[in-house]
Amino acid sequence: MEFTNFDNEQSSQNIMATILKSLPKESGLTKIEYEGPSIALYSKNPRFLIENSQILSNMVNTIRKRVVIRTDESIRKSRNDSTRIIQNHLLPLKVKTTGIFFDDALGELTIYISNSFEMKNQIENNILLDLVTETGWKIKTRKSTVKLATIQFIDKVLDNSTDYRIKFYKEVGDKVFRTKLSNSCEASVLTLGGFGEIGRSCFLLVTKESKILLDCGINTHEEKALNYYPRFDMTGFTLEEIDAVIISHAHIDHTGFLPFLFKYGYRGPVYCTEPTLPLMTLLFLDYHKNHELYSEDDIKNVIIHSMPLSMGIVTDISPDVKLVLYNSGHILGSTSIHIHIGNGNHNLVYTGDLKFGKTNLLENASWNFPRVETLIIEGTFGSKDLPHKREETDPILIESINQTFRDGGRILIPVPIIGLSQELIYTLTKYQEDGSLDPSAEIFVDKSILEATYMHELYYDYLSKEVKTKILNENISIFNYKHLKLLNSKSKVDKPGIILVPSSMLIGGLSVKFLKQIHNDPLSKIIFISNQGTGTLGKEIQTGNTEVTINGQQLKLKCKIHAIHGFSNHSDYNQLLAYISRLKPKLKRVVINHGEKARVQNLASSVNKILNIQCQYLLVPEAIKLL
């Protein structure tokens, strides 16, 4: 249950009084408790509250706080009994499950369904309510054709932290809903990373009542610690003083510092979308395998303290800050962050990584914010130097691949684990289906990319309308798994095929291993489709250097090199300007972050000159006053 407007403050007593007054006796209310940024209503008769949802929406419109219905502990059946009840209902419908996860802290269970989507709809429409009544648990369903290691890891961590989480959710609620200490309002932004550079995206929003961190990344292609991590040495306060962390999306340059934050003592909430939690966990586990800079316990702490939020819902995260997440079109679950400060005093939008343009898998970024005065926007492609447009890209890519296949060569495409790799798998599948690309061509991926790909089906509701409809109506798999062949570090690819492996900038990992395998074959090709950071091996090769050194070994490249730029899931120069000019009401101030200095500088001057909006770029560390 949610509200979508901001409103005046209300005291906790008023809120509780309104709740008690609004709910009739039949609602079976047993207690009201804070649950992180929500107010949880425990009920012995959840069916009544679900069936009479109007009562709740009226109440929520009055109190203007997030409310969740929880089932009273006394009505929840045991795990065994609940599983039996669920199977008895699902078996006759031929619905197959790959598991059921019970979250005791929330009284909520998730049924992972493997086979039919029509069945899933049927479950939701007809028997979900019966299942809630008979089991006494709140019920969610998710599509999961296979058991995913990361999801199992997260579910186990959540299961082992039930008592701690119950306490933690209450403590967060107490802080969020406490009375304000001051009536006046102030806000400033302190840049800690990702301004005038790409990597370690991180800044701090300081208001009278709160300190909130937006993104928390590391710069994996920097060697010096001072450039690798966000500049926490500049903040002048301890990690315990931070009230919340908000994550825009899972990529390591926006999240990689989170486990370090917990290693050094942070114990507050992490807000992100539902898919971002497993996607970033996948990246942390992968990073942890190769760098022992933090422990698995630090990753577990990120999971325990994460509070996934839906998009478009107003959430109080401190006494003077409300948060709404909007789709940013960049990767699965990526968001632009809308921050409402005080009582309508200031609105800040931080875009995160932004795609203002449709891709094959995701919807265009949202741009319709109720209010925004300050915009912090990425400027990765803040200059007009991209030769290809997205619509020209597919034919260029397919022709490039076909050419290499005709020669009998292999293709290496270095990709990130999440985002471009799935966009590419989806695109290749599409062209294999229509015959433009050899239907028998094998696509080699590593374990992490395969798992991230499956996660796109688990959270299909975050994909574009078109893809979602395809999944729901045609009941098909959107990725052609039978053509995907799994690779590991010992694999050899000695026949034509497409190798999609991380890292995208050839910083390490399997892409460097397979580069060594194909580098002296003049028939084979490296295709770059993502932005190559300055100083990376990828950039060196892309700009034409054929003699490179990898781990002390000198290599002379004989393979072909092809860079296709239009594939990017970042907005190009024109899309960035179109996005900024689209926002209404007219912005008071624009700040460019996330981009090499020359590009953010160029974009800032374009916004000033072309759009006539006050625009600047910041570096690290710098501070500006918003209010």
Residue type, 45: N
- Our CB check for Zn ion shows the closer of 339 and 418 to be 418
For residue 478, the minimal CB distance to Zn ion (Å) is 21
- Our CB check for Zn ion shows the closer of 353 and 451 to be 353
CB atoms within 10 A of CB 222: 16
For residue 377, the minimal CB distance to Zn ion (Å) is 14
Q: How far apart are CA 326 and CA 463, in angstroms?
A: 13
Specify which residues 68 forms β-bridges with.
40
CB neighbour list of residue 207: distance below 8 Å, 6 or more residues apart: 185, 186, 187, 318, 320, 321, 341, 342
For residue 39, the minimal CB distance to Zn ion (Å) is 34
For residue 537, the minimal CB distance to Zn ion (Å) is 20
DSSP state of 594: S
For residue 137, the minimal CB distance to Zn ion (Å) is 36
For residue 605, the minimal CB distance to Zn ion (Å) is 25
- Our CB check for Zn ion shows the closer of 194 and 268 to be 194
For residue 567, the minimal CB distance to Zn ion (Å) is 14
- Our CB check for Zn ion shows the closer of 511 and 569 to be 569
Question: Measuring CA to CA, which residue among 113, 104, 160, 166 is closest to residue 137?
Answer: 104
For residue 330, the minimal CB distance to Zn ion (Å) is 6
- Our CB check for Zn ion shows the closer of 70 and 330 to be 330
Question: Measuring CA to CA, which residue among 285, 273, 41 is closest to residue 149?
Answer: 285
Q: How far apart are CA 108 and CA 392, in angstroms?
A: 46
- The CA distances from residue 309 to 66, 269, 306, 312, 469, in Å, are 11, 12, 9, 9, 23
CB neighbour list of residue 152: distance below 8 Å, 6 or more residues apart: none
3-state secondary structure of 69: strand
Q: How far apart are CA 138 and CA 122, in angstroms?
A: 17
Specify which residues 42 forms β-bridges with.
31, 70
Quick check: 583 and 375 in contact, CB under 8 A?
yes
For residue 230, the minimal CB distance to Zn ion (Å) is 16
Positions that interact with Zn ion (CB under 5 A)? 251, 353
Query: Measured over all CA atoms, what is the biggest interatomic distance in the chain, rounded to whole angstroms?
Result: 79
Neighbour-count burial for 258-294, b at 16+ CB within 10 Å, e otherwise: bbbbbbeebebbbbbbbbbbbbbbbbbbbbbeeeeeb
Number of residues that this document lists for the chain: 627
- The CA distances from residue 274 to 222, 332, 348, 388, in Å, are 30, 10, 22, 33
- Our CB check for Zn ion shows the closer of 268 and 333 to be 333
Exposed/middle/buried for 395, CB within 10 Å: 0-12, 13-18, 19+? exposed
- Our CB check for Zn ion shows the closer of 251 and 565 to be 251
- Our CB check for Zn ion shows the closer of 302 and 314 to be 302
- Our CB check for Zn ion shows the closer of 136 and 278 to be 278
For residue 249, the minimal CB distance to Zn ion (Å) is 6
- Our CB check for Zn ion shows the closer of 132 and 449 to be 449
For residue 595, the minimal CB distance to Zn ion (Å) is 12
- Our CB check for Zn ion shows the closer of 380 and 429 to be 380
Question: Measuring CA to CA, which residue among 170, 167, 254 is closest to residue 213?
Answer: 254
3-state secondary structure of 39: strand
